[in-house]
Amino acid sequence: MLYSKNRNKKLIYCFFALVIFVMLTLFIKIYFKPFFIIMFLLFLCSPIYNLLNELHIINKKAMGIISIVFVNILLLIFIIYIGNWIYSVKDIIIDSIVKVVNSLDKLSKSLNINFAGLNKELEKYYYNILNSNFLRKGAVYTTDSIVNYFVGNIVAYFILVDKYVIFNWVKNFIPPKQVNFIEEKFKDIKNIFKVEILLILVTMIETIFGFMALNIENYIILGIICGTLDLLPYVGTIIVFMPLIFYKISTGDFIIAFGLICLYIMLFIIRQIMEAKFMSSKLEVHPIFTILALYIGLKVFGIIGIITAPLYIIVCKSILEM
């Protein structure tokens, strides 16, 4: 009887934890968009800040500024380089699109298939692009992104410089018994980010070698882009793979196109397996629960769910083991 009451009590705690996590996730997703920018900047800036801190050359504020500025310069160089590369191959991209459209037209004539509906959708798509409302929304989103990035930089700076001050201040409002629990959860969050970064690097390396084996031009740049896009749920690397596959089909390189399809499927499967395995080993949770948490979190909340869902599983595990 006592065991049953204790178990029910733990389940109630898990339910309340679920409500809190859902509310927190929705809050971050809707009202605090710089969250990922902050986490990303902290991940990149922390090693630089710690290195400068060990050298004891300058004060904390200067170290924070140098770390933030250095990372931003690197990101800017990367964006400019990728932008220049995309601009340099724009003619190839346009040519491949034209070839794909022509191939579809020939296919429709040979198989007597009507692509009128597709053409209408394309016309509608281009009309929306040229529509002023669409452009206005794009301008708003761009402005919003700039503001989010600016806020993210400021918050990341203060966390870098005053993280211990902030933590000690927060400790004043938390019972001593819960402090260790929260510290452990922060470590778990770090582990989740480490796993995601590791998976991105693995995807990047696999893609580079895969493209190299398939004799794809600019395989290093494309691999880096794929690794970066791997952060995005659903779309991710397919943004790079789909144009390449269509281009190879349009040029008659069916074997290479098939190879690209196989490579994409392989990358997807390997990532899912590795993500479940790494998450379960780092967070000491069974892989099946990790997979379910990642899937549900991604489906319901998007990218933020990849972090909060496994974290909720960890919290539930801690509650049930109490």
Model pLDDT for residues 63-80, shown as the tens digit of each residue: 888 999 999 999 888 888
Q: Is residue 135 part of a domain?
A: yes
Query: Which residue did the predictor score with more confidence, 195 or 126?
Result: 195
Q: Is residue 237 part of a domain?
A: no
Q: How many domains does the chain have?
A: 1
Give the range among 49-58, 89-98, 202-211, 287-296 with minimum mean pLDDT: 89-98
Query: Which residue did the predictor score with more confidence, 93 or 184?
Result: 184
Q: Is residue 69 part of a domain?
A: yes
Q: pLDDT by residue (tens digit) across 90-103?
A: 666 666 666 666 66
Q: Is residue 299 part of a domain?
A: no
Domain that holds residue 162: 32-89+116-173
Q: Is residue 48 part of a domain?
A: yes
Angle (CA) 306-310-314 rounded to 5° is 160
Does the pLDDT value for residue 138 go beyond 60?
A: no
Q: pLDDT by residue (tens digit) across 2-47?
A: 456 667 777 777 788 788 888 888 887 776 777 778 888 888 888 8
pTM (2 decimals)? 0.63
Q: Is residue 82 part of a domain?
A: yes
Q: Is residue 203 part of a domain?
A: no
Please tell me the predicted confidence (pLDDT) of residue 72: 92
Closest CA relative to residue 40, chosen from 222, 160, 193, 171 = 193
Q: Is residue 102 part of a domain?
A: no
Please tell me the predicted confidence (pLDDT) of residue 246: 77
